Structure 1
Amino acid sequence: MTRLLLLWALLGAPLHPASGSRVGPPRRSFRLDSSDRGLVHFIQPDIHNTTTLLLSNDGSTLYVGARNVILSLDVSKPDVITLKNKRDWSPSEEDIRACRNKQKDATECPNFVRVLQPKNSSHLYACGSYAYNPRDAILDSQTLTLTTVSKGEGRCPFNPFERSTAMTIDGELFTGTTMDFKGANPVISRHFSRDRRPDIRQDSAGYLLDEPTFISSSFDKKEGKLYFFFTEVLNEFHYTMDLKGTRLAQVCKDDVGGQRILQKKWTSFAKSLLHCQQGFDILQDMFTLQPSEGDSSEETVFYGVFTSQWSLGSESSAVCGFKMKDIRGLFSGQYKTFDTVKHQWSTSGTERTNQGKCGLWNATDVVLEVVKKSFLSHVHVRGADTPLMISSGPNGVRYSRLVAVTTQAANEKQYTVLFLLTETGFLHKVVLLGRSSWIVEAIQVFTEPQLVKSLLLSSSKDVENGNVLMCPQSITPPTEVQTDLNEVVTLPCARPSDLATLHWTSGHDRRPLPQKYFLQRPDGSLSFLASAVTLDVYICTSQEARYQEDQVVFNVTLRVPKVFAEGRAAGPQAPDTSAESLPENDNEITSAPYDPNENWSQESMPPRPTADSGTQKNAGEKVLELVRSYQTELVVVSLLLALLLCANVLVGLVWNQRRCAAPSKPQESLKNDPMLKQEPLVTDVKDMV
């Protein structure tokens, strides 16, 4: 399986709360090829099954355990991952033949590196399945040179696909795995014990661990105890079918076993039931989030992702948090006792004084006999308050891995961010706020859906503190849009978040838009018909939770037709609207510049500009004035034409009357009549013009 190192920056963005503890859809989603959320991949065609990761203390080198190989990668740069060293660690042909003779196929017989842990400041410890015959090795952390190879039984599993857990503390190795070929002998053990102490492992009694699947482990430095998280059959309940659940077990780091009873066995072993939520009882992964510097170790929180062992008809997961202070007090109460004759647990708990304690190496045989039979806590650990998040229903997902980090926002508050991997290879980044949770981002990790088996977070890189609520808005200058009358105008507006809603307003007083003139499309854009009442400033605002932010601003004006400019040139009375006479700056013919930081309450707004007040009109009002002026000129010309026609008609009537009333004159005298010497009457409107 292809592996990669993911480096993320936390988004300082407003969040949309989910209902209760159930999470809604992601706030933003990014495909693999998205330019807005880049991922750094390291791929080599001959590298497969990279399921084990270890980050150096300085965060600059990533060690990767893969199939037949161990890699060291330089991850000091945020935009590239380069190969530093590569060490082949393959079984011999004889080892592979022996594996095949045990009825294992070719896919199971390579060496799958299952454990990578720091041994000391200069060396690493590694353990691999090695063709169903576990081997371990010590490697130089710089050159990856193998310096020691020995048997690895009980340190990593024979089965390369079986889950296990391991961690090193002061050079000692603590593991939870199986130590036989069939995987039927589970064990929690300590190896490479210091100060001449013997190595310690689990007692061979089968009722101590019942078909466990080891998930994770953690160290409580203050108490000197290790905690192991696993799932197993809950044999204290009597059902007709096996009921599985999640366990928490503890052992003391410096336990050396008893003198006669429990020799080289844990005298501090105790376990309890870990409960998240009804219906979510199978642990998939557990992460230990250490408290901030200066805080008490009791503030340590264990975050676990749980699924159901029953079919719920849809994918589902739940995330719960468990507090260290609750776990520390868990093993100091009552315990159940196992009856070795009836092979069952007592139904009630009995107060015990030695269970779960460290330093019982010199305890009496009577005390150790009780410890040997009474190691199951009567009470169990519940998740703090309610589940932090539940993903269920038709859109639910199954999470497989998680890590957590605490980051300080711009308001100086601490927030916990979870990184959760789905079983299809998507990464969900979730922010926890009290009892609510939000999926800030969903990021596609691989082209094809596949299960990711390892997730590692570098807390020293990937984090940008920020909170948009604390940041001032930047001034968004309006975008000029020119249009013609009766033309359809569409103004685009993109949502900054999948959970945000968009709404449009007009004017600097942000008036609501009447539905009879405007249409807001599903993509957020606004459409309307350009007219005298729709030429204005339009603002698109996004709203998410209680936060609003202006996205775009448009100033829609009317485009000046050429006929207006020609008419104005012919008529000296028409106002000049030629391109040469218009102001160079569009703001000179619009209202005041747009400023989102200005308080635009209705009371503080100045009166809308009018011609009488001498203030400047916007472009739409200017054009409408030109239209009215041109119409006035046409009316005047029409009236003059009508008066001229009337005058000519009147002159004609007068002339006819005089002609009828005058006495008969000789033909010659008519030639000298002044009325006959006038110009011909206008007989056509064209002539009048």
Structure 2
Amino acid sequence: MAQQVIALLPMVFLAMLSQCSPQLTPRISFPKGSPGRPLVHFYRPDICNTTTLLLSEDEDTLFVGARNAVLSLDVSQREAIVIRSKLDWSPSEKDLEQCSMKGKDMVDCPNFIRVLQFLNTTHMYACGTYAFSPRCSYLWGFDYGLQHTEELLMASHGSKPEEGRGRCPYDPYQRNTAITVDGELYTATVADYRGNRPVISRHLSEGSHVDLKLDDTLGWLEDPTFISSCFVPSEEKIYFFFSEVGREYDFIDKFVVSRVAQICTSDVGGQRTLQRRWTTFAKAHLLCQASSELPYNVVQDVIALPPPEGAPADDTLFYGIFTSQWSVNSGQSAVCAFRLRDIKETFSRNYKILNRDTLRWSTRVQEKIANPGECGLHNASDNTLRFVKENFLADDSVQPVGRSLTMVSQDQNYSHLAAQRVRAANHKDYTILFLLTESGYLHKAVLLEKGAHIIEEVQVFQQPQAVKNMQLSVSKGVVFVGTSEGVVRVPVANCSFYPSCAQCVLARDPFCGWEHAAQACVQTSLARTGLGQDVDGGDVEEACNATTPLSPRARFGPTNLTTGQTVSVTLNKVVRLRCPVTSRHARRHWERPDGRLISPDLYLQLEDGSLRFVVTLPSLGPYLCLSTENGYRQTLAAYHIEQKTAAPFLTPATSATSASATTLPAATSVGAWPKTSAEAEPRPDATSVSGTVSPPLTTEPGAMNSAAVWPRDSASRGGGERLLLAHSPSYLKELVVVSVLLALCVSALLTAALYGVRQRCRKRTAPQAGGPPGLGEREALRGEPSPRFNGKRSNGHAVLNGQANGQANGQACNTTPKGSNGHLPNTPI
């Protein structure tokens, strides 16, 4: 155990020090319902959970296992999916009541079809959860030959469907896998209500074959989650892929590992030892790991890709989706490829030894009596079968192709995948992966020598789904995705979407190539020669015979600006020029005739690539939105901004009022644009560059203090404001008038203030009227009001009693003035 801990420590340290892998971003994204990526959707309100798919040999009929029903869909038409027949298969009311009494939710008690396999050309075999009591039945009513009926029928051997224990899971959310070979059904599922007895078994055996099973009584499976199965005719073996708890790593609690197991279809069990049990069962560890990270140890889906024509069967590849049990890995999901040759070599080497008393694994050297997993051991001796019974775990792990990850996604959790090999225009084969994400998108990726390239992503359903399935039809060139929302048909190629040779080549899609004669992007399968295509490098100049990109002066020449959108705007208005998105991998920027923008203080480029600025005299003229992708530069949109014609003649007062209301509106809050806006309509004869219509251009009233256009930094703003004021309409007359009025107001206020101060000083030295000397002081000490004030104020100033009385009587104060000491002012006592 100490050696295993020491061996695992470098992996932990490397994972902590690992650098993030480059993020894989789809080049183009198509939301659901996008006209650029039309899909065919089959949906009916009475049909739900269409998640089990089975495609006929001629690929014209798609059989679907749904909730309480089995469907037959006609998929031979390109633009529609038509239902041929529907077989209802619902539990009875008594079965639903018993399911509810078991403590299950009623939404989980219907019959969810989880097994749908062909037995021969006339019969299918279907199994469903059937209210947590699995049932199976034979179906017929179809024929691959000339005969065909429009109705599916159920043909049971007895009065009711067969019990599906060990063939179908009880819970509709449990994973399972099933495959038929020569009329026999091979399944991997759980065989009890609680889901604690995993089993790999064979059913419907005839002749010398007997039904076999591999249950958990011998510790062969440790809480597995079955994923998929595949039959390899050259080996006469079936390979099962699943994840389980790795008991060999006993120093880590519940350490999950991914497995590949094999059994031989010719196995009939032992004569005395391992009777009705598998004698050819063996399993190995699938290792999906980068050199600097912990392994992606939980397998999600595995599919087989046959070798190219003429290649040996050992070149068969198994592509799998893996996730990590830890959060230190750089990605959410990883794709690894395993070669059949490597799997066979792993099973042919040494095996670990299981101690039945302690249930611990050891790797001590022992004499190898037999080779576990070898076909034909049913006639072996009891000693050999006991050796096979205790040695079924391979000592080595199956390494991925190239001992590296095929691709890693940092922000997506992939759930299902399909693979196809495509021959490009250069007669080179490329592998295309179709990856279904938990967020509802289908990613289309091509595997290149430098790494994976995601060509596009297509949204196929709105909400994340727990149970999904995917079926690839190579002859039809479509991918069928089964969800709870119905069945979606997604074409594998979308070549007509690319309007130019540059866009067709930059897509780097092996399905598509540019035909120079027809000036269209077409599919390479149409056997056209001389198509423009470069999947590996995406070199537009070579594939399209394009010239070197023009210089900025040449791009703005009179011969290169004959097309574009002309917009007439008034000065001091905020204008927004939009730039279309053709690729997420492209970098967009704007140019003026001098090859660059005037100043970042005057122009604001938003995250969506659009350009916003305040229209001034220097900002009039042409604008180009350019994109640079893979070293190739192209024009996405062209605009020409011009000033509107003069307004009708107005009186000076009306003109000043109008200018202040429209040209210079009140400033809005910081970072917020005014709600009022006017759309500047393009001229009827103006179109955008590259044959596409440019998006509408928006003009908005400019807010001079808005932080979205003018930065608050005075140092960076000064140049822009001076440039704007230098070319803006003059308001000198208004400024002079306001300045004169302001000066008059200030002078009047100063005069009034000086007059008030002078009067206050004279009142302090003037004689006081009424009352004997010192009366005010005595009353102040007593806390009484002084008789010199009547408690009233006039315009904020105290009014003397004597003055008030004298003015009221119309008399002047002619008495001899006295000071506070009873003597003349400024006369010493």
> Taking structure 1 as the reference length, what is the TM-score of the superposition?
0.71
Q: Secondary structure at the match of 2:270?
A: coil
- Of 584, 593, 596, 1:498 maps to 584
**1:275/1:281 contact within 8 Å kept:** yes
Q: 1:333-361 CA deviation, whole Å, 9 max, x = no partner? A: 00011111222111346574421211112
State how far apart, in whole Å, the 2-side matches of 1:361 and 1:217 are: 23
Q: Secondary structure at the match of 1:90?
A: coil
State how far apart, in whole Å, the 2-side matches of 1:292 and 1:322 are: 16
Could you tell me which residue of structure 2 aligns to residue 237 of structure 1? 249
State how far apart, in whole Å, the 1-side matches of 2:95 and 2:570 are: 85
Structure 1 position 476, deviation (Å) = 10
State how far apart, in whole Å, the 2-side matches of 1:380 and 1:459 are: 33
Structure 1 position 296, deviation (Å) = 2.5
**2:198/2:216 contact within 8 Å kept:** no
**2:215/2:221 contact within 8 Å kept:** no
Could you tell me which residue of structure 2 aligns to residue 184 of structure 1? 196
> Taking structure 2 as the reference length, what is the TM-score of the superposition?
0.60
Do structure 1's residue 356 and structure 2's residue 373 form an aligned pair? Answer: yes
**Counterpart amino acid of residue 205 in structure 1:** T
Q: Secondary structure at the match of 1:70?
A: strand
- Of 627, 637, 642, 1:542 maps to 627
Could you tell me which residue of structure 1 aligns to residue 72 of structure 2? 72
- Of 472, 492, 503, 1:463 maps to 492
State how far apart, in whole Å, the 2-side matches of 1:442 and 1:481 are: 34
Task: Map 1:241-280; keep pairs closer than 5 Å.
Answer: 241-277=253-289, 278-280=294-296
Structure 1 position 405, deviation (Å) = 2.0
Could you tell me which residue of structure 2 aligns to residue 38 of structure 1? 38
Structure 1 position 190, deviation (Å) = 1.5
Could you tell me which residue of structure 1 aligns to residue 399 of structure 2? 382
- Of 132, 137, 161, 2:173 maps to 161
Could you tell me which residue of structure 2 aligns to residue 283 of structure 1? 299
Could you tell me which residue of structure 2 aligns to residue 327 of structure 1? 343
Question: Structure 1 pair 410/314, CA: closer, same or farther in 2 (3 Å)?
Answer: closer
Q: CA RMSD, aligned part only?
A: 3.5
Structure 1 position 246, deviation (Å) = 1.0
Could you tell me which residue of structure 2 aligns to residue 579 of structure 1? none
Q: Secondary structure at the match of 1:456?
A: strand
Question: Structure 1 pair 482/424, CA: closer, same or farther in 2 (3 Å)?
Answer: closer
Q: 1:260-311 CA deviation, whole Å, 9 max, x = no partner? A: 2122221111001111122521111112222233332222221111122345
Structure 1 position 132, deviation (Å) = 2.2
Could you tell me which residue of structure 1 aligns to residue 605 of structure 2? 521
State how far apart, in whole Å, the 1-side matches of 2:88 and 2:569 are: 73
Q: Secondary structure at the match of 1:130?
A: coil
Q: 1:426-447 CA deviation, whole Å, 9 max, x = no partner? A: 3222222235223332332233
Could you tell me which residue of structure 1 aligns to residue 385 of structure 2? 368
Aligned length: 543
Q: For CA contacts below 8 A with separation 6 or more, give which structure has more relative contact order.
A: 1
Could you tell me which residue of structure 2 aligns to residue 434 of structure 1? 449
Query: Higher helix proportion, which one?
Result: 2
State how far apart, in whole Å, the 2-side matches of 1:482 and 1:99 are: 69
Structure 1: give runs of 5+ residues left out of the alignment. 1-18, 563-585, 587-593, 597-689
Structure 1 position 49, deviation (Å) = 2.4
- Of 316, 325, 333, 1:317 maps to 333
State how far apart, in whole Å, the 1-side matches of 2:563 and 2:136 are: 67
**Counterpart amino acid of residue 390 in structure 1:** V
**2:591/2:597 contact within 8 Å kept:** no
**1:431/1:437 contact within 8 Å kept:** yes
State how far apart, in whole Å, the 1-side matches of 2:184 and 2:562 are: 64
Do structure 1's residue 224 and structure 2's residue 258 form an aligned pair? Answer: no
Q: 1:311-333 CA deviation, whole Å, 9 max, x = no partner? A: 56998222211112211211000
Q: Secondary structure at the match of 2:385?
A: helix
**Counterpart amino acid of residue 259 in structure 2:** R
Question: Structure 1 pair 247/559, CA: closer, same or farther in 2 (3 Å)?
Answer: same
Question: Structure 1 pair 472/545, CA: closer, same or farther in 2 (3 Å)?
Answer: closer
Could you tell me which residue of structure 1 aligns to residue 525 of structure 2? none
Structure 1 position 540, deviation (Å) = 4.2
- Of 285, 294, 317, 1:301 maps to 317
Could you tell me which residue of structure 1 aligns to residue 225 of structure 2? 213
**Counterpart amino acid of residue 54 in structure 2:** L
**2:111/2:129 contact within 8 Å kept:** yes
State how far apart, in whole Å, the 1-side matches of 2:626 and 2:425 are: 23
Question: Structure 1 pair 436/359, CA: closer, same or farther in 2 (3 Å)?
Answer: same
Q: Secondary structure at the match of 2:80?
A: coil
Could you tell me which residue of structure 2 aligns to residue 551 of structure 1? 636
Do structure 1's residue 402 and structure 2's residue 486 form an aligned pair? Answer: no
**2:240/2:262 contact within 8 Å kept:** yes
State how far apart, in whole Å, the 2-side matches of 1:184 and 1:484 are: 74
Q: Secondary structure at the match of 1:177?
A: strand
Between the aligned residues of both structures, percent identity stands at: 43
Structure 1 position 247, deviation (Å) = 1.0
Could you tell me which residue of structure 2 aligns to residue 202 of structure 1? 214
State how far apart, in whole Å, the 2-side matches of 1:199 and 1:247 are: 24
Could you tell me which residue of structure 1 aligns to residue 434 of structure 2? 419
Q: Secondary structure at the match of 1:496?
A: coil
State how far apart, in whole Å, the 2-side matches of 1:39 and 1:247 are: 36
**2:636/2:690 contact within 8 Å kept:** no
Structure 1 position 535, deviation (Å) = 5.7
**2:590/2:597 contact within 8 Å kept:** no
Do structure 1's residue 146 and structure 2's residue 160 form an aligned pair? Answer: no
Question: Structure 1 pair 107/206, CA: closer, same or farther in 2 (3 Å)?
Answer: farther
Q: Secondary structure at the match of 1:272?
A: strand
Question: Structure 1 pair 26/427, CA: closer, same or farther in 2 (3 Å)?
Answer: same
Structure 2: give runs of 5+ residues left out of the alignment. 1-18, 143-148, 478-490, 494-510, 515-531, 534-542, 547-559, 648-684, 692-829
Could you tell me which residue of structure 2 aligns to residue 661 of structure 1? none
**2:569/2:641 contact within 8 Å kept:** no
